[in-house]
Structure 1
Amino acid sequence: MNGTAQRDAADEPPRPAVAGLLLAAGGGRRLGGRPKALLPLDGRPLVEHAVAAMRAGGCSPVHVVLGAAAQEVRVHAELSGCVVLDNTDWESGMGSSLRLGLSSLAGTGVDAALVVLVDQPGIGAGAVARVRAACGSSASLAAASYGGRRGHPVLFGAEHWPGVDESAEGDRGARTYLRARADEIELVECGDIADPADIDTPADIERMEGLGGGLRPSPRPDAGG
């Protein structure tokens, strides 16, 4: 690198620090009570696939919120290097996990949190990286979109965390907050590289197993965020 290139690189502002926040507390009631974090894919639990996608997509640190069968997940999943949190109120819904995860990031110095759900294995590192790249500052608010419909991952700049904390309740998560700020959200199209379908039923598990081989998305007309 010559002197001019070195000066140009030094003048570039530092890249915002984006933490990964994985919500993995669900108990899988429609799956016979099987915790979603431990559902197998290619021989490893979903929670490991999600952590790997977040890291490969540029998120650091990675915080993981567990709930159902938390101790079992800790025993059977490889989560070294992650900050692992237990949400004892996980049955109240996703909102409590989101609040816990964001509170764990307070004081870490990161500029934003990129939120991923453990039961969407078709969302890989490519989508994570695209949404992460939309972070320009702690005021950023961005989300993946699939054919124009908002979905996950969702990126919350740190300035948004107090508002999310106030509004996140039950299974709504951050939906109330995001709807109120729809005009502020930068939508990042990811439909060409990711599949946002949830794993909620035994039929979804069969479909998930069909993704395999790097989680290539398969057609689903009603997919949306």
Structure 2
Amino acid sequence: MDPAGVLLAAGAGASIGRPKALVRDAAGVPWVVRSVHVLRDAGCGPIGVVVGAAAEEVTALLAAEDVTIVPSLEWETGMSASLRSGLGWVTETPAEAVVVHFVDLPDVGPDVVRRVLAGRVGSGDAVLSRAGYEGRAGHPVLMGRAHWEAAAAAATGDRGAGSYLKQAGCPLIPCDDLTL
């Protein structure tokens, strides 16, 4: 199974005063580029990057990457709008599953994504799993196509699909030992 990847990178980063997609790591690599590489190195493709705040700047940073830019026109209403945009995009691909990842997780590498993929429950378009840290639900999340519509419907305001994933019995795959 080669899942698609959706990178949520639309937020304004109000808590840090700038969009997190534009933040650079110690080596000078923008978080948005680093996160695309994490998904790609873990085996995801195609990859859609959801943009909103500073969309032109973020898009420019991705000019050399093989990604689809997915505008989130209502990104200011919260993460749910970005998730719905990303899931809407992936429905147009032939992918049976998608890995949903956040741009502001620079300590998550491709090994975490690979573990989430390896620990999935179900098969084909019904797969489901997510990274867990200290017993708490985290990201990335792997969702089969059978879950996309309900996950999008459950997302409201600045909340993603967590309530749906909990109801669906999404297993947590322990990844504490893999964060940087």
TM-score, scaled relative to structure 2: 0.93
* Equivalent residue runs for 1:63-102 within 5 Å: 63-78=48-63, 80-102=65-87
Q: Within the alignment, does 1:39 sit opposite 2:23 as a pair?
A: yes
CA shift, 1:77, in A, is: 3.8
How big is the shift at 1:89?
A: 0.8
Q: How many residues align?
A: 177
Indicate if the aligned counterparts of 1:48 and 1:79 stay in contact, CA closer than 8 A: no
Shift of 1:133: 2.3
Runs of 4+ more than 3 Å apart: 76-79
Q: Please state how far the C-alpha of 1:168 moved relative to its aligned partner.
A: 1.0
Whether 2:31 is the aligned partner of 1:56: answer no
Number of the residue aligned with 1:180? 167
Runs of 5+ unmatched residues, structure 2: none
* Distance in 1 between residues matched to 2:134 and 2:21, nearest whole Å: 27
- Larger Rg belongs to: 1
Report the CA distance shift for 1:128/1:88 in structure 2 as closer, same or farther (over 3 A).
Answer: same
Asked if structure 2 preserves the Cα contact closer than 8 Å seen for 1:134 and 1:140, the reply is no
Map 1:134-173 onto structure 2 (within 5 A): 134-135=119-120, 136-173=123-160
1:106 partner amino acid: T
How far the C-alpha of 1:188 sits from its partner, in A, is 1.2
Taking the aligned partners of 2:147 and 2:111, their CA distance within structure 1 comes to: 24
* 5+ long unaligned stretches in structure 1: 1-15, 195-216, 218-225
Deviation at 1:17, TM superposition (A): 2.8
Sequence identity percentage: 42
Aligned-residue Cα RMSD (Å) equals: 1.3
Q: Any idea what SS the aligned residue of 1:192 has?
A: helix
The DSSP-based 3-state class of the residue aligned with 1:72 is helix
TM-score (norm 1): 0.75
**2:115 alignment counterpart:** 130
How far 1:178 moved relative to its partner? 1.6
Aligned 1:6-17 pairs, distance under 5 A: 16-17=1-2
Per-residue CA deviations over 1:111-147 (Å, capped at 9, x if unaligned) read: 1111110001101110011112234321111001112
